Amino acid sequence: MRKYVIMGVQGSGKGTQAKMLREDLDLAHISVGDIFRWHVRQHTKIGAQVKRAMAAGELVGDDLVEEVVRRRLGIHDWNYGFIIDGFPRNGRQAEFFMESYDIDAVIHLELPDDEVRRRVLSRRLCPNCGMDYNLIADRPEVEGRCDICGHGLITRADDTPEALEARLTDYHEKTRPVLELFRRKEVVHDVDGRPPVDEVQSAIRKTLGLSGYRADD
Ligand code: AMP
């Protein structure tokens, strides 16, 4: 059983790297942001509560976030473990989490703010199948269309310059201190988020003592 947290500023590749680990290790990938986006799309009561904060790039209230995480982890579909992305994001969430679960490792993807801005503002998403694109590194074959399902691509509501600046400020003020809490427990693995996706994945596996990534073969 492996219990991992993946942390890093928006655009650092958390979601992509978490999905790669999930596929190979049979982990449940739990993204709090994805859960909230699902609620917004489905127009649920939770969706109505989080929509405004999300679009502004602000953090959602801790009570609601903890409830969503507790409920998600209460579905015991993680026989081989989980990798959680986008949580915890502040000291209170970290304490709640550490009280309830033993974490094996925190993967910290490091990326300078300028690179974050460059990446995030060129990010596109398929609202139909969830595939991510990047107009710099990972362009769709046909402009504006998903390679997998052909649906039109959109920009995430919170990938605007204003919302991004709000998220960067929150990250530096609130989320960075969480890393320091985890560092005291000696579970943090710092990984450079700048290289290509496969190289980052290899570096993560190396530092976690896992077998190499297929792209190395
Ligand atoms: P993400 O996809 O992780 O960037 O999350 C998108 C948005 O969901 C964030 O900008 C917040 O509004 C909200 N959110 C996700 N995770 C959390 C969290 N742990 N605490 C508070 N808000 C969150």
Q: Quote the ligand 1 centre to 59 CA distance (angstroms).
A: 6
205 catalytic residue (yes or no): no
Ligand 1 center to 215 CA (angstroms): 31
> 3-state SS of the chain?
CEEEEEEECCCCCHHHHHHHHHHHHCCEEEEHHHHHHHHHHHCCHHHHHHHHHHHCCCCCCHHHHHHHHHHHHHCCCCCCEEEEECCCCCHHHHHHHHHHCCCCEEEEEECCHHHHHHHHCCEEECCCCCCEEECCCECCCCCCECCCCCCECECCCCCCHHHHHHHHHHHHHHHHHHHHHHHHCCCEEEEECCCCHHHHHHHHHHHHCCCCCHHHC
Confidence at residue 136, expressed as pLDDT on a 0 to 100 scale:
85
Q: What pLDDT score was predicted for residue 211?
A: 75
Q: Which of 14, 22, 119, 124 is catalytic?
A: 14
Task: Quote the pLDDT of residue 217.
Answer: 41
pTM of the model: 0.84
Query: Which member of 89, 119, 124, 205 is catalytic?
Result: 89
pLDDT of residue 179: 92
118 is in an annotated binding site: no
Q: What is the pLDDT along the chain (217 residues), one digit of tens a residue?
A: 899 999 999 889 999 999 999 988 899 999 999 999 999 999 999 999 999 998 888 899 999 999 999 999 999 889 999 999 999 999 999 999 988 888 999 999 999 999 999 988 999 999 999 898 989 878 999 999 999 999 999 998 888 899 899 989 989 998 889 999 999 988 999 999 999 999 999 999 999 998 766 654 4
Residue 195 C-alpha to ligand 1 middle, in angstroms? 25
The pLDDT assigned to 159 comes to 87
pLDDT of residue 214: 60
